Amino acid sequence: MIFASDNWAGAHPAIADNLVAHAQGYVSAYGTSDLDRSVERRLSEIFEREVAVFFVGTGTAANSLALASANRAGGVVFCHREAHVNVDECGAPEFFSHGARLSPVDGEHGKMAAARLKAEIRRFPPEFVHGGQPMAVTLTQATESGSVYSLEEIETLASIAQSHKLPLHMDGARFANALVSLDVTPAEMTWKRGVDLLSFGGTKNGCWCAEALILFDLSKAHEMHFLRKRAAQLFSKSRFIAAQFEAYLAGDLWLELARHANAMARRLAEGISASAESRLAWAPEANEVFVILKRELAARLQQQGAVFYDWPVPHHLAGSLTENEGLYRLVTSFATQAEDVDRFVAAC
Amino acid sequence: MIFASDNWAGAHPAIADNLVAHAQGYVSAYGTSDLDRSVERRLSEIFEREVAVFFVGTGTAANSLALASANRAGGVVFCHREAHVNVDECGAPEFFSHGARLSPVDGEHGKMAAARLKAEIRRFPPEFVHGGQPMAVTLTQATESGSVYSLEEIETLASIAQSHKLPLHMDGARFANALVSLDVTPAEMTWKRGVDLLSFGGTKNGCWCAEALILFDLSKAHEMHFLRKRAAQLFSKSRFIAAQFEAYLAGDLWLELARHANAMARRLAEGISASAESRLAWAPEANEVFVILKRELAARLQQQGAVFYDWPVPHHLAGSLTENEGLYRLVTSFATQAEDVDRFVAAC
Amino acid sequence: MIFASDNWAGAHPAIADNLVAHAQGYVSAYGTSDLDRSVERRLSEIFEREVAVFFVGTGTAANSLALASANRAGGVVFCHREAHVNVDECGAPEFFSHGARLSPVDGEHGKMAAARLKAEIRRFPPEFVHGGQPMAVTLTQATESGSVYSLEEIETLASIAQSHKLPLHMDGARFANALVSLDVTPAEMTWKRGVDLLSFGGTKNGCWCAEALILFDLSKAHEMHFLRKRAAQLFSKSRFIAAQFEAYLAGDLWLELARHANAMARRLAEGISASAESRLAWAPEANEVFVILKRELAARLQQQGAVFYDWPVPHHLAGSLTENEGLYRLVTSFATQAEDVDRFVAAC
Amino acid sequence: MIFASDNWAGAHPAIADNLVAHAQGYVSAYGTSDLDRSVERRLSEIFEREVAVFFVGTGTAANSLALASANRAGGVVFCHREAHVNVDECGAPEFFSHGARLSPVDGEHGKMAAARLKAEIRRFPPEFVHGGQPMAVTLTQATESGSVYSLEEIETLASIAQSHKLPLHMDGARFANALVSLDVTPAEMTWKRGVDLLSFGGTKNGCWCAEALILFDLSKAHEMHFLRKRAAQLFSKSRFIAAQFEAYLAGDLWLELARHANAMARRLAEGISASAESRLAWAPEANEVFVILKRELAARLQQQGAVFYDWPVPHHLAGSLTENEGLYRLVTSFATQAEDVDRFVAAC
């Protein structure tokens, strides 16, 4: 009953096996092998246009390099207050961007509210040198709250970004989970709606270590080669990432894995909804379920081997928990078993 | 006949297999799993003292974080002119250190000459604020020229560093090759001779992607956790690195692989020494062989499928090549086959 | 009727004259002259202990260098939400600190509330690498709201900082105004209450360009020499700053100028309090007066040549202004004339 | 007999007086006053085209901001080995450029040799990500060796820079000295010969603290406003710099002062040439004279109150000094008196 995070799972067998399959033989290093090239081409197909692909080791690296490519002196990046870049990356975006600032934008369910984004950007008028200058907007899809931006919501944020000439980055650490949740194409969820840069995550969805920064604007690719190398993210045996992605994308394995994780989340949600004692904090849209449990129950579950984290109670929920209740996050993954879900639900 | 670089090889089967063996099941993320801990303990045993271990994705990351931990304003790092940090890391050490400078030190066979190191450091007197201040010394073992510092040479450089209170870093991208070449223990080649920080490389010697920054001074470990995370080098599924190292270190596989690579280099060297037409530029001490070939012959070998790079001619050799000759680097690895070596030699 | 800012005034005649007095003759450069030394000694006397003094060109430089000297990877600096470092320095503190973040702390009247500071620091538990690590606390004295921290308030914040081993910095761009407002000694308002670093501003109080970063912890002085030089803030003809400070401090001119500015602020405040139409937003404690005026009146005053800025309405005042009213800031300085104040008041 | 440096002098009376003249009255802050604007316009007239002017506090700031505006990841700046940016700025250019490297170019008399510059740039082929990428070329006019690039030499370096699409920066800390030495116009010595950015120094030639970064490419001006502010180089009472420049430029005072300094250098040089015991190391072209003196004589002169520094002996001179001789630098300035020169010469 491990619901701690999708990164507690290991690697999907097909992905681990493909690494072994590519272990032998010599290929050219630093991302120049045929395998690297073929995965890059496959991503262009998947996104229905030529894209520039940069394999990196971590989602934090992909996010931070994306923002670094938009760098301006005194630059300000707009993101949701709970975004991974703002809360969980130890200042990497700021470091990669030489001191750019993250300006948190509020909004329900982990999504930036359009009006709040506009208001935040307006705090930095173009000619007022003292405050700094807007530099980029970044949204997380699926969000840290397990919600998913609709295509219309993405388009709205993109148009705000565009009106200020700011690139729009999407942190897609859980890109596949959001994609199958919306049941749209990768192109529809990104560049067709105004996304300029994408952190395309594989690690949380069944890879060992496979992240790709995808640029829809090819004019930024030249500089990105140097940004990535300077950030120590150009891997000599790059094929070890390419091989993971090859298996991940083959036969739409990635979508299948995400559908499984999301289904497990729904199963959890439905089970808990039916419980007398426990309840959902809000409905999940991807693979993260937020539940309100009696603290006593949570402790008992943890004694029984369940692993999950408690979560800060957002303002809009503040009044609706009793003293004895806590908010908890349950994350499912490609590896989650229905039996574990059912055991958990049964105990709730 | 691939002698381009040791990073053109893939992964040793035992290492690839161990990744598969660890692919299933849940473990805690970000380097906190039992497997991570056990590999860290193993490294403490190997180095005969408690060390702080930081897994990272690339040798450049290990080197750059090591130097970053010594950071000073206006800091100057002393390294050999041909060192990887100086020539092949696209400014990563400077970026991680917020603009520290690398001050190249000359010396034969890729090794800093002690007198030159002293003279370079003396260029930055402690109270002369305009020039900046010394910050660290870094040496490469084995060097980019395929040579190996003797223990005495390491100790000499270490005592110079210590006399200026500078930490001594060792770039051990080819640590195992140097170690078996000297036939000493890891402790003898590092902290017992005054090395403070070590980039312990596994990638070039049979791993996919396994590098560890090892601190002998535990007081620097706390800050390093944040430096690594901020540099986007803390991997969520850290066990994928730990599993590689587990197999790498088990039963001294790492030493066996390095011995093989070095033996292949010697075999190459002996063959070429015996050739009428071709000759060694200097004797190899690890797994890199530098040879002087007729350009015509080099081209013919490359047409026959041999892959290797030409190399800038160092000053001390300048006069000893004819117009028709070039200097070439041949790198062997755990994967090099004796037959390939022999075919190459036969054609020389 | 110029109440735009205290930096719209020029230089006090005694200060300008002292520059002329020191214009001739040769002295050693880069802060090593007798004049530099004597001003440094004078500051040690004024602060009743040996201090390390670093002349710099701007308050932003002093603040940013102070924070840079506390630098940690993933570092977080705590400051009031409205603090100059957070709002008006275009990311300089982040740039000088290689990407450290500013974490805004709320509190009434421009002062950090102790409970909020504690809560903010607690958001970054020491071993949680993902969030970053606390690095410093900085308070502004006098604040951007024209208020002044009492000695007890400073002590309370200092003890919170100390309990987390964080240095406490004071941005004293308006140090003199705060000092005469509290009627205490420089020592009492700083190190005796736990302040570790001070930006000692002269520019806003009658100098041309005279700021000093003062370190009470001498062990940080060595590195600061390099931090300052690297930041391009070491002036060759440093005596041009020293000469300003010499005149500024001589005969307590600085206190006299601050008393004048504060008295002008009080005169403004008293006049407006007596007005039927206009009112104070809150009582001034230094040289900044915040008033609520009918917008129409404000516009009329501006047409008559008054210069002052409107100001964002803080939350706690939100309900207390009518639609026709605005919040405005009036700043007095050493150069403010009573007649101008009276003309302004008469028109209110 | 102060020949230590031109920054040991104070300020010219006309410049000091103009500061006093502008000390009173209110003007808008941060470089927006009428005086600021009028000096900017005056500089456009002097350079015979519209230029963007950024007042800063130090030459190091001007140089570092110029290079920062050319910033690229893994960027490499080419400069003479003895250039101020390389030797005397404590890593400020690297810091402002987030870790860009300076690649020293050799050449006689402090001037980059065109062939060496070409060779250095060629070390960084455009698609070789490991080495980094060329980013800018910077030359010093007059040089640290007291020589002056001819217009043809500037043009040659500019065409090399342009062929690699690199901006050309001129460090003009002694711009006026070079200008009157060549007897050309500011336009001829800069943009007409391919200079893109200029550090226009006033401090060494009679100002207190007056440096301007001048951009000939106006498209870079917007970002520079933020770069300067973020670097803590935007002065609130900016008129204190503007007032200096106003007096400096009025009636061509700046050229007159430079002519005087150069004449004093020639007088020194001629005197020493005529000496039996002492001799010139090379002929001065601006206001720095390099002389070879018996060490004993140098010590005696210093005892008599002469102040000057010894200087590292360049390679091409290595053989031409006896053991008893040293190389010394003598710098003249606007304040140098003929009598002091003559006394010095008489003692040689």
For residue B30, the chain C residues in CB contact (below 8 A) are 129-130
Mapped onto helix, strand or coil, the DSSP state of residue C74 is coil
Distances from the Cα of A89 to the Cαs of A67, A212, B233, C73, in angstroms?
13, 17, 11, 11
Per-residue pLDDT of chain C (348 residues; tens, 9 = 90+): 899 999 999 999 999 999 999 999 999 999 999 999 999 999 999 999 999 999 999 999 999 999 999 999 999 999 999 999 999 999 999 999 999 999 999 999 999 999 999 999 999 998 899 999 999 999 999 999 999 999 999 999 999 999 999 999 999 999 999 999 999 999 999 999 999 999 999 999 999 999 999 999 999 999 999 999 999 999 999 999 999 999 999 999 999 999 999 999 999 999 999 998 899 999 999 999 999 999 999 999 999 999 999 998 988 888 889 999 999 999 999 999 999 999 999 998
Single-letter code of the amino acid located at B168: L
Contact flag C102-A101 (C-beta cutoff 8 Å): yes
Contact flag C19-D13 (C-beta cutoff 8 Å): no
Contact flag B91-D101 (C-beta cutoff 8 Å): yes
Per-residue pLDDT tens digits for A271-280: 999 998 899 9
Contact flag A223-D132 (C-beta cutoff 8 Å): no
How far B225 CA lies from chain C's nearest CA (Å)? 7
Single-letter code of the amino acid located at C238: S
CA angle C98, C103, C106 (to 5 degrees): 155
- Say yes or no: A315 contacts chain D, CB-CB below 8 A: no
Nearest residue on chain C to D29, judged by CA atoms? Answer: C8
Q: What is the ipTM of this complex?
A: 0.97
For residue D95, the chain C residues in CB contact (below 8 A) are 230-231
Closest alpha carbon to D239 in D38, D90, D67, D74:
D38
For residue A13, the chain B residues in CB contact (below 8 A) are 20, 23-24
What's the pLDDT score for residue A316?
82
For residue A59, the chain B residues in CB contact (below 8 A) are 236
Burial, B162: exposed, middle or buried (Cβ in 10 Å; 0-12, 13-18, 19+)? middle
Q: How many cross-chain Cβ pairs, C to D, lie less than 8 Å apart? A: 173
- Say yes or no: C84 contacts chain D, CB-CB below 8 A: no
* Structural domains of chain C ordered from first start: 13-251 (3.40.640.10), 254-347 (3.90.1150.10)
Largest separation between any pair of C-alpha atoms in chain D: 62
Q: Which residue from C7, C25, C96 is facing D237, i.e. has the nearest CB?
A: C7
Contact flag C129-A101 (C-beta cutoff 8 Å): no
For residue A240, the chain B residues in CB contact (below 8 A) are 11, 208-209
CA angle C80, C85, C87 (to 5 degrees): 80
What's the pLDDT score for residue C67?
98
CB A4 within 8 A of CB B28: yes
Distances from the Cα of A339 to the Cαs of A267, B39, D224, in angstroms?
11, 33, 61
For residue D234, the chain C residues in CB contact (below 8 A) are 58, 60
Mapped onto helix, strand or coil, the DSSP state of residue C193 is helix
Closest alpha carbon to A147 in A254, A290, A275:
A290
What's the pLDDT score for residue C289?
98
Per-residue pLDDT of chain D (348 residues; tens, 9 = 90+): 899 999 999 999 999 999 999 999 999 999 999 999 999 999 999 999 999 999 999 999 999 999 999 999 999 999 999 999 999 999 999 999 999 999 999 999 999 999 999 999 999 998 899 999 999 999 999 999 999 999 999 999 999 999 999 999 999 999 999 999 999 999 999 999 999 999 999 999 999 999 999 999 999 999 999 999 999 999 999 999 999 999 999 999 999 999 999 999 999 999 999 998 899 999 999 999 999 999 999 999 999 999 999 998 988 888 889 999 999 999 999 999 999 999 999 998
Question: In this structure, what are the phi and psi dihedrals at residue A307, rounded to the nearest 5 degrees?
Answer: -120, 125
**Average pLDDT of chain A, as a whole number:** 96
CA distance B211 to B61: 9
Largest separation between any pair of C-alpha atoms in chain B: 62
CA distance A95 to A230: 13
What's the pLDDT score for residue B283?
95
CA distance C175 to C63: 13
Residues of chain B with pLDDT under 70: none
What's the pLDDT score for residue B42?
98
Q: Which residue from A26, A61, A307 is facing B9, i.e. has the nearest CB?
A: A26
Q: How confident is the model at residue A126 (pLDDT cuts 50, 70, 90)?
A: confident
H or E segment to which residue D201 belongs: strand D197-201
Contact flag B227-C73 (C-beta cutoff 8 Å): yes
Contact flag C129-B30 (C-beta cutoff 8 Å): yes
Q: Distance from CA of residue C51 to its chain's centroid?
A: 19
Say how many CA atoms lie within 13 Å of D2 toward its Cβ. Answer: 17
Contact flag D91-B132 (C-beta cutoff 8 Å): yes
- Say yes or no: C72 contacts chain B, CB-CB below 8 A: yes
Burial, A342: exposed, middle or buried (Cβ in 10 Å; 0-12, 13-18, 19+)? middle
CA distance D24 to D20: 8
Q: Which residue from A74, A90, A94 is facing C90, i.e. has the nearest CB?
A: A74
CB B338 within 8 A of CB B344: no
Closest alpha carbon to A241 in A201, A199, A208:
A208
- Say yes or no: D285 contacts chain B, CB-CB below 8 A: no
Q: Which residue from B95, B131, B132 is facing D98, i.e. has the nearest CB?
A: B95
- Could you give the dihedral angle defined by the CA atoms of residues B55, B58, B61 and B62, in that order, rounded to the nearest 10 degrees? 50
- Say yes or no: D273 contacts chain C, CB-CB below 8 A: no
- Say yes or no: A52 contacts chain D, CB-CB below 8 A: no
Hey, which chains touch A, using 3+ CB pairs under 8 Å? B, C, D
Radius of gyration of chain B (CA): 20
What's the pLDDT score for residue D348?
87
Q: Which residue from C89, C90, C99 is facing A98, i.e. has the nearest CB?
A: C99
